[in-house]
Amino acid sequence: MRKNLLFDASSLIYALKQKKLDVLCDNYVQWLTIYEVINGLWKEAHLIKAMNVRDAINVAQILKELVSYMNVLSPHGHEEEILMLALKAGITVYDASYVILAKKYNLTLVTEDRILRAKARDIIKTATLNEVIT
């Protein structure tokens, strides 16, 4: 499995849905990602009813266990750099935080967001989940 990968929420959710958990172990997330994923579970269970509450809670429990096998990064201390990149690149602060952390730690950003991949490509390495598991 590839190492030095930073997963954003879109790829982490996709990996959970596809049951591709091995690739996540010993790789990276930022702490905000955990809450973005939990928020996604809430949306699917509460707003759009795409999953039942019990399944959402089960996935949250799997996520909690999984994160213990991952390296959790913090964007703290990079606030100005993150804001400057967001303004310059026209991306959200959340997306900019992934790019800044990937750059700082020399990681490949794994995201299913094609717009983010396109905008970040000149700054860092990017990939989709399928690209890193094949």
Residue 47's domain is classified under what CATH number? 3.40.50.1010
Share of the chain above pLDDT 90, in %: 97
Domain containing 50: what range?
5-133
Q: Which of 67, 84, 71 is nearest to 123 (CA)?
A: 84
Number of structural domains the chain divides into: 1
Identify the pLDDT of residue 134.
Answer: 80
Query: 19 to each of 15, 32, 43, 80, 98, how far by Cα in Å?
Result: 6, 21, 20, 36, 23
pLDDT, the chain, mean: 96
Q: Checking DSSP bridges between strand 108-110 and strand 71-73, what pairing results, if any? A: unpaired
Identify the pLDDT of residue 126.
Answer: 98
Q: Tell whether pTM > 0.85.
A: yes
